[in-house]
Structure 1
Amino acid sequence: MLTLRYILIYSLLMTAVVVASNVLVQYPLSGELAGIQLGDLLTYGAFTYPVAFLITDLTNRQFGPSMARKVVFLGFVVGIALSFWTSMPRIAVASGTAYLIGQLLDISVFNRLRRQSWWQAPLAGSMAGSMLDTALFFSLAFAASFAFIGPNDAFAIESAPILGIFAVEAPRWISWAIGDLCVKILVGLVLLLPYGALMNTLKPMGPATQAR
């Protein structure tokens, strides 16, 4: 019963993060910083999505990779189904594909490093998952070569200086992808704090979790 309760909590949290991120990724930041238009650099989804890796890693630590995959798949099914109601279909497809592959990579990397120092597994897993997730999501969601999935966001494909500062211009979604990955890395580092704080509370359960 206790295990079921934890899994339900993790699954609900994962669903909430996926749906929120799919909505927020459609909204670029407003304003500017040092003359750089933040809308050319970031969307709000970059700040919420890394929490999905924290949820996956906590599940993996406590119950092992098999249970972590179940939470990921449940979050995928429910989150993406809801995302078709709250975001563009192409965003939902891109998000679902990137989420599933990125999270499964995170689980694999985490499990290989789970017996190392406490921070190595969650950091390496989230970094690897974030890089793959970002590349897949922004390509599928906005690149012209994947237009068969659905219509492009006109603002996303407008040309703009890369990161708002370099002379080379590219579709705005490329700057979003670079900025998104940078924020994911920073947020991933910050999320090591709650992961470390919860280690003593969320004790590993079962033979597959006998590690740090």
Structure 2
Amino acid sequence: MKLIPGILGMAAVVVASNILVQFLLGQWLTWGAFTYPFAFLITDLTNRFYGAKAARKVVVAGFITGLICSFIGTQIEGEFGPLVTGRVAFASAMAFLLAQMLDVEIFDRLRHGSWWRAPLISSIFGAMLDTFLFFTVAFSAALIWLEPANDVSWAGGMLPLLGYGPEVPLWVSLAVADWGVKIALVVITLIPFRAVLRRARADMV
């Protein structure tokens, strides 16, 4: 029963992110980039209050929710085919699971330091791994063998990084923008993390 809020919160974040990733925000982002980082907040709060084992259970619940969302997405036809391809679904699931589990492990090792140290460092490394795995597996031309029928050549078009830097594949700019938003939100979510800790301590007095 104690994990139900965390499980429901994680499921809500995953569902929202899977829906909002369909909507573009400018050239480099989707709205899903602004909801997904809250998964780290939920994982870290669960870890802080109930330990690493409990946090892993919440992560698995989010992983299963993501699989369901991906399956539904593969059944819905959009303008250019299924909303979610098999390769994107695989990349999303793998990135989520490994990044969140890394977050759990790092947080657990740093839990006895300053209040901000564990959530900040664990979420930064988790966000880095998530971004790297998802965009590389989903769009790198080197991994076309994962789903040969899925044409991702559009993601390999060479463009200036974020419109200004050296020329790189489009998916690299998408990854850098996504990672930047995640890191910014990881820092911002320290505020609710701290607020929840203070509220919990006040309730114990």
Measured against the shorter chain, the TM-score band is 0.7 to 0.9
- The 8 Å contact of residues 120 and 186 in structure 2, kept in 1 or not, is answered as yes
- The 8 Å contact of residues 98 and 134 in structure 1, kept in 2 or not, is answered as yes
Task: Let me know the Cα RMSD of the aligned residues.
Answer: 1.7
Instruction: Give 1:154 shift.
Output: 5.1
- The 8 Å contact of residues 18 and 69 in structure 2, kept in 1 or not, is answered as no
After TM superposition, the structure 1 = structure 2 runs for residues 23-38 of structure 1, keeping only pairs within 5 Å, are 23-30=19-26
Aligned twin of 1:118: 115
Q: TM-score, normalized by length of structure 1?
A: 0.82
- Out of 65, 75, 87, which is 1:90 matched to? 87
Aligned twin of 2:12: 16
Instruction: Give 1:152 shift.
Output: 4.0
Distance in 1 of aligned mates of 2:15 and 2:190: 23
Q: Deviations over 1:123-171 (max 9, x none)?
A: 00100100111100100111112223331445433322111112x2222
After TM superposition, the structure 1 = structure 2 runs for residues 49-198 of structure 1, keeping only pairs within 5 Å, are 49-86=36-73, 87-88=83-84, 89-150=86-147, 151-153=150-152, 155-166=154-165, 168-198=166-196
Instruction: Indicate the percent of aligned positions where both proteins have the same amino acid.
Output: 47
State the secondary structure of the residue aligned to 1:133: helix
State the secondary structure of the residue aligned to 2:159: strand
State the secondary structure of the residue aligned to 2:3: helix
Q: Which amino acid aligns with 1:157?
A: G
Distance in 1 of aligned mates of 2:12 and 2:142: 30
Q: Deviations over 1:84-132 (max 9, x none)?
A: 2134132221111001110011011111111111000000010010011
Q: Deviations over 1:50-82 (max 9, x none)?
A: 000000001101110001001101110122222
Distance in 1 of aligned mates of 2:20 and 2:197: 30
Unaligned runs of 5+ in 2: 74-82
Unaligned runs of 5+ in 1: 31-38, 204-212
State the secondary structure of the residue aligned to 2:25: coil
- The 8 Å contact of residues 14 and 36 in structure 2, kept in 1 or not, is answered as yes
Distance in 2 of aligned mates of 1:43 and 1:155: 17
Distance in 2 of aligned mates of 1:152 and 1:202: 50
Distance in 2 of aligned mates of 1:202 and 1:81: 33
Q: Deviations over 1:20-46 (max 9, x none)?
A: 32343344323xxxxxxxx1x322222
Aligned twin of 2:80: none
